[in-house]
């Protein structure tokens, strides 16, 4: 199944060690989704073979992966 990058806005915090932590995902329509928990943070390959930081998160009771690559945040979706 082919997936596409859907770029989103993100509210984050960067600590003194340079660790970037996402706090709130902001969708295209302006709706905000608070990130309840970061379950895992790892480097990952994405659809085009590039590397990205993958954050496995709990958002509104569901587990989702959000990605950070080349100073941009995105989620993978089946729809354009």
- What domain count does the chain have? 1
Q: For residue 13, is it within any domain?
A: yes
pTM of the model: 0.87
Q: Buried b / exposed e across 2-36, counting CB within 10 Å, b at 16+? A: eeebeebebeeeeeeeeeeebeebeeeeeeebebe
Q: For residue 80, is it within any domain?
A: no
pLDDT given at position 2:
83
pLDDT given at position 47:
62
Q: For residue 30, is it within any domain?
A: yes
- The CA–CA distances, whole Å, from 18 to 8, 13, 14, 15, 65 equal 21, 9, 6, 5, 21
- Per residue of the chain (80 residues), give pLDDT as tens: 788 899 999 999 999 999 999 999 999 999 999 999 999 999 987 766 788 999 999 999 999 999 999 999 999 898 87
Q: For residue 16, is it within any domain?
A: yes
Q: What range defines the domain where residue 42 resides?
A: 4-75
């Amino acid at each position: 199944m082919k997936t596409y990058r859907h770029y989103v806005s993100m509210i984050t915090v960067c600590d003194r060690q340079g660790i970037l932590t996402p706090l709130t995902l902001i969708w295209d329509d302006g709706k905000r989704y608070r990130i309840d928990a970061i379950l895992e943070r790892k480097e990952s390959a994405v659809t085009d073979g590039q590397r990205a930081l993958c954050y496995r998160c709990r958002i509104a009771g569901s587990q989702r992966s959000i990605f950070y690559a080349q100073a941009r945040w995105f989620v993978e979706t089946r729809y354009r």
